[in-house]
Structure 1
Amino acid sequence: MRNPEEVDGFDGEASNTSMISGASSPYQPTTEPVHSRNVLGDIRCDTEYLKSNFGILKIVEVSLSLIAFICIETIMLCLPCGGVYFFEFVSCSASVVTGFLLLVFGLNLHGKVPHVNWSLTDLVNTAASTFFFFLSSIVLAALNHKSGSEIAAVIFGFLVTCVYGFNTFLAVRQWRKGDGRSSTVQTGEYTRARTASRGEMEAQPELQ
């Protein structure tokens, strides 16, 4: 039989050994908190983008589109109403899509989805908004009933068309400089870095 002191000593050694093995174990509960902190760290307000030309233009575009949409919504009677409905759809769609892109770039969320070419998406949105706002403003001006709301909607429609057109010009010029290709290269580097880090994390328990 073992003495109580020997049993206590054996238990103490076992507990110390378990503590040491637990400290050196690769399966630690600190993986998920670190991952959550990294995710939250990616969501931040990009003040540099909001102060840039593209950020300011997007804020102006969303504001003018909303104002034009509000003006067209205050029209109570119209005959025919095709121009009103068309302008309403264009102003609402442009404000929603541009507002979404403003949030994506303003909160630095585009880095979390690197497989999407956000530069090309922004270019397509600005070009399409320029064309459809110009077309809907012309149609609304041609079918105008000379009410205050329709006149205000037409004015804001042409104003936001000019802003979208200038934004399209800047986006095309930036695309021609090769920023689209550089974004693709950055996306590939990001994917390779994530793959390499994931491979290191998988190989680390085997080494230990």
Structure 2
Amino acid sequence: MENGGSVYSPTTSPAEPAPHKGLRSCGCTAAHLGLSRLALKALQLVLSFLAFVLEEVIEVCTSCGGLYFFEFVSCSAFLLCIPILAMYCTSLHERVGKEQVKQLDFWIVSVLAIFFFLASVVFSATNDRTSIEIAAIVFGYLASITFIVDAVMIFRRRQDRRKETQQENTARTLNPAENQPLNNQPA
């Protein structure tokens, strides 16, 4: 008791370790996506960026409508992947709302899958068959595939959750008195 060590030791807690430097200190985590979806999202970002960059390198085109459509879609896909990935990997996921982020992600990914595939088909039909154009088209199709796979994964998870909630609801049986309207109960 002279130095006070035994009085305070049972009630005090050890000091918390210093926060880690790097991405975790700013709230960046892959916990909301999982490793496979994070890799898929990163692949979408990289492939759409490569398709956009390769399309930008093209200097001459004879039928430019397909090229411009591909440019718009690939740039839009790249720019829309960034905030979705940022929402999943930072604390914005909780602030915006988990269900809203998932729903927004599903619709963005689905629309991008359709438009990226369509833009790749149109650009395939209207290109001049240069090696840069063919490379851009290949990356466009690869990006389309990643968006389609992601949309299917999100849709399946949503269906699995619906089945689970339906099974939980059917397991609950209500008391017959709970099924009666309030006005029909005896007074």
- Counterparts in 2 of 1:121-200, with a 5 A limit? 121-178=104-161
Contact residue 87 and residue 101 of structure 2 kept, 8 A: no
The 1:175–1:42 alpha-carbon spacing in structure 2 relative to 1, beyond 3 Å, is farther
The 1:100–1:119 alpha-carbon spacing in structure 2 relative to 1, beyond 3 Å, is same
Contact residue 52 and residue 74 of structure 2 kept, 8 A: yes
Cα distance per residue 1:37-74 (max 9 Å; x no partner): xxxx9950113346522211100000000000000000
Partner of residue 97, structure 1 = 80
Question: 1:163, CA displacement in angstroms?
Answer: 0.9
Distance 1:66 1:91 in 2: 7
Aligned residues: 141
Contact residue 62 and residue 95 of structure 1 kept, 8 A: yes
Question: 1:115, CA displacement in angstroms?
Answer: 8.5
Task: Give the SS at the match of 2:97.
Answer: coil
Partner of residue 14, structure 1 = none
Contact residue 51 and residue 140 of structure 2 kept, 8 A: yes
Cα distance per residue 1:3-28 (max 9 Å; x no partner): xxxxxxxxxxxxxxxxxxxxxxxxxx
Contact residue 134 and residue 161 of structure 1 kept, 8 A: yes
Q: TM-score if structure 2 supplies the norm length? A: 0.69
Contact residue 91 and residue 133 of structure 1 kept, 8 A: yes
Task: Give the SS at the match of 2:136.
Answer: helix
Partner of residue 17, structure 2 = none
Give the letter for the 1:143 counterpart: T
Distance 1:91 1:136 in 2: 9
Task: Give the SS at the match of 1:48.
Answer: coil
Runs of at least 5 residues in structure 1 that lack an aligned partner in the other structure: 1-40, 183-208
Larger radius of gyration: 1
Partner of residue 46, structure 1 = 29
The 1:42–1:178 alpha-carbon spacing in structure 2 relative to 1, beyond 3 Å, is farther
Runs of at least 5 residues in structure 2 that lack an aligned partner in the other structure: 1-23, 166-187
Partner of residue 85, structure 1 = 68
The structure that is helix-richer by fraction is 1
How large is the Cα RMSD of the aligned pairs?
2.3
Partner of residue 61, structure 1 = 44
Distance 2:154 2:99 in 1: 17
Question: 1:103, CA displacement in angstroms?
Answer: 0.7
Cα distance per residue 1:160-182 (max 9 Å; x no partner): 11111111110000111227x99
Q: 4+ residue stretches of structure 1 with deviation over 4 A?
A: none
Partner of residue 204, structure 1 = none
Cα distance per residue 1:99-146 (max 9 Å; x no partner): 110011011312112287111111111111110111000000000101
Partner of residue 91, structure 2 = 108
Calculate percent identity across the aligned residue pairs: 32
